[in-house]
Amino acid sequence: MVARSPLQFLLLLLVSFICLKARAESSRSVVFIDGSSNNYIRDQNPDGAETSSMLLDEVAAAASVLLGFAPPSSLAADSSSKLNEVLLANPFDKPHAVFLLEVNGIDGADPLLSMDNSKLTGSIFKSRVLGPSKAALELPGEDEVSVVHLDESVAAECNAACLDKELANIADWLGGSYVGSLESLDGMLTLPLASGKALNLHVEKEAQLQFASGLISLFKSVKRGVEVHEDFAGSIVSPAELIIGHFTGIKILQEEYGPGDIVQQAMEVFQTALTKSLDLLYNSHEGKIVGVVISKKEPTPHSGGMIDVTFPTRVSRFLEEGTQAGFPIHTLEVLLVRRSLAWITGIILLVSTLIGVFLLVNMPLTRDTLLYSNVKLD
């Protein structure tokens, strides 16, 4: 018994370390949401969000499958089985459209995992996200996928009058109001909450203006995605559609004010904006689109977001052969073979032409000749 005590203590430390590591890695989550008219996501048990977990590479692979492309060949067998737990196994029925949004700065209990499913009409699959902080979404080519990026630089590109107009538009979209102006430093954006209260944003303050700008960018990006879909709607072959971006408004408010009431109220407003965005996309795409929302608390150590969109580099065979500077003999052999084939083909065509002309000139003038018709001979 005494000999086992140190071993048991070490095992206890190891289990505690693994639990702490898993808890630290589980600060990220993902929510898959589809429309009511078309189901692409499996129904999840009510307690599934508490136990389900996915690797970030699996999330990117799921988005690739929803776009209609095969997952990367490097995906492990266990990860392929995980995709079957999330997606419906119908290879001929895919939405070919994904709304991929990353939300930064969510602290404490994840509001996305506790999102009320009754606010959305489609199937929802919620899961914790484990694994590395970066993954790649590999797409076949830019001509096969239309990518719309969410741009959060509205405040930097707009002047005061332009921002006042955009703030008024976002207030109408979310059922709120906007009074005052940025120029007079009394602009007030009021957005209603589900609890009956309202979030009052003083947009002359930088952090609150950045949150409002994020809502504006979200709305404009969704509208641009709808317009792109309508442009491709009449074409015979339309590409897959990906709307991707990052929402950093929550993180900016949390860094400025800490985990207070304004952050909680801002999260409620974001949930309303997300629901309205998905409704717009579902209506325009007739339900053939899936929303993938990833949330995280810690900042990404790399530039950009957690999922990077990558396209393969296509290099022609001629350019590939031309870059083989280390093998001049091979290049000369290729040129010699090509020129030899060209000369031989040209000589064969010339000889064939001369033989044909000779036979045509010396053809006898009979009744069934090919040179003259029977009418002329008669």
Q: What are the structural domain ranges in the chain?
A: 25-310, 317-377
pLDDT tens digit sequence for 297-309: 765 554 567 888 8
Radius of gyration of the chain (CA): 31
CA 328 to chain centre: 44
- In terms of pTM, does the model score above 0.75? no
Distance CA(246)–CA(248), nearest Å, equals 6
- Please indicate whether residue 199 or residue 335 has the higher confidence score (pLDDT): 199
Contact between 31 and 124 under an 8 Å Cβ cutoff? The reply is yes
Provide, rounded to the nearest whole percent, the portion of the chain with pLDDT above 70. 74
How many residues comprise the chain?
378
Q: What is the mean pLDDT of residues 127-148?
A: 84
Provide, rounded to the nearest whole percent, the portion of the chain with pLDDT above 90. 27
pLDDT tens digit sequence for 11-57: 444 434 434 444 444 578 888 988 766 788 887 766 555 557 889 99
- Residue 164 neighbours by CB under 8 Å, 6+ apart: 178, 181, 182, 183, 187
